[in-house]
């Protein structure tokens, strides 16, 4: 699976996005319907889990502070109070998923920001990079 994160392309991944060495997002397609399936863990700035998405369904949602909107080809998770988009994913082709926008904390408590042009964690950022993951995870941070 190819994964676009901002303007960066990670080719030949196993569907996992590792953030700072920790698998935080897992992408797959349903074997029968082909729908995009997303597994994601949301943390706060201290590394405490606030919400968990399993197969594109919100399974754990502390204080009901988050909501997920999904279709067969997309998923968006947002903060209910502010409306801020935390994670947006779109299947662009059968084997290409785009992560064009998001803002959430890594398991280590650092803020990851993804825009149409880059991904950024603190002062580390990448823009316009193409990388072959050779069957492994798309690794950022």
pLDDT-above-90 percentage for the chain: 94
- Strand (E) positions, 30-110? 36-43, 49-54, 57-61, 66-70, 74-79, 85-93, 96-105
CB atoms within 10 A of CB 119: 23
Domain holding 54, by residue range, is 2-140
Mean pLDDT of the chain: 96
Please say if the pLDDT value at position 62 is more than 90: no
Bridge partners of 40? 25, 53
pTM: 0.94
Report the number of distinct structural domains present in the chain: 1
C-alpha–C-alpha distance, residues 16 and 135, integer Å:
10
Bridge partners of 61? 51
């Amino acid at each position: 699976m190819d994964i676009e994160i901002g303007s960066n392309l990670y080719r030949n991944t196993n569907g996992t996005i590792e953030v700072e060495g920790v698998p935080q997002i897992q992408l797959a397609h349903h074997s029968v319907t082909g729908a995009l399936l997303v597994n994601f863990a949301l943390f706060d700035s201290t590394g405490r889990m606030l919400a968990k998405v399993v197969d594109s369904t919100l399974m754990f949602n502390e204080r009901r502070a988050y909501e997920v909107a999904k279709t067969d080809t997309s998923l968006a998770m947002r903060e209910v109070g502010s409306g801020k988009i935390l994670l947006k994913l779109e299947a662009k082709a059968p084997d290409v998923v785009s992560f064009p926008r998001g803002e959430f904390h890594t398991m280590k408590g650092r803020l990851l920001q993804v825009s149409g042009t880059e991904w950024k964690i603190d002062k580390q950022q990448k823009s316009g990079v193409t990388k072959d993951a050779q069957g492994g995870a798309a690794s950022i941070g």
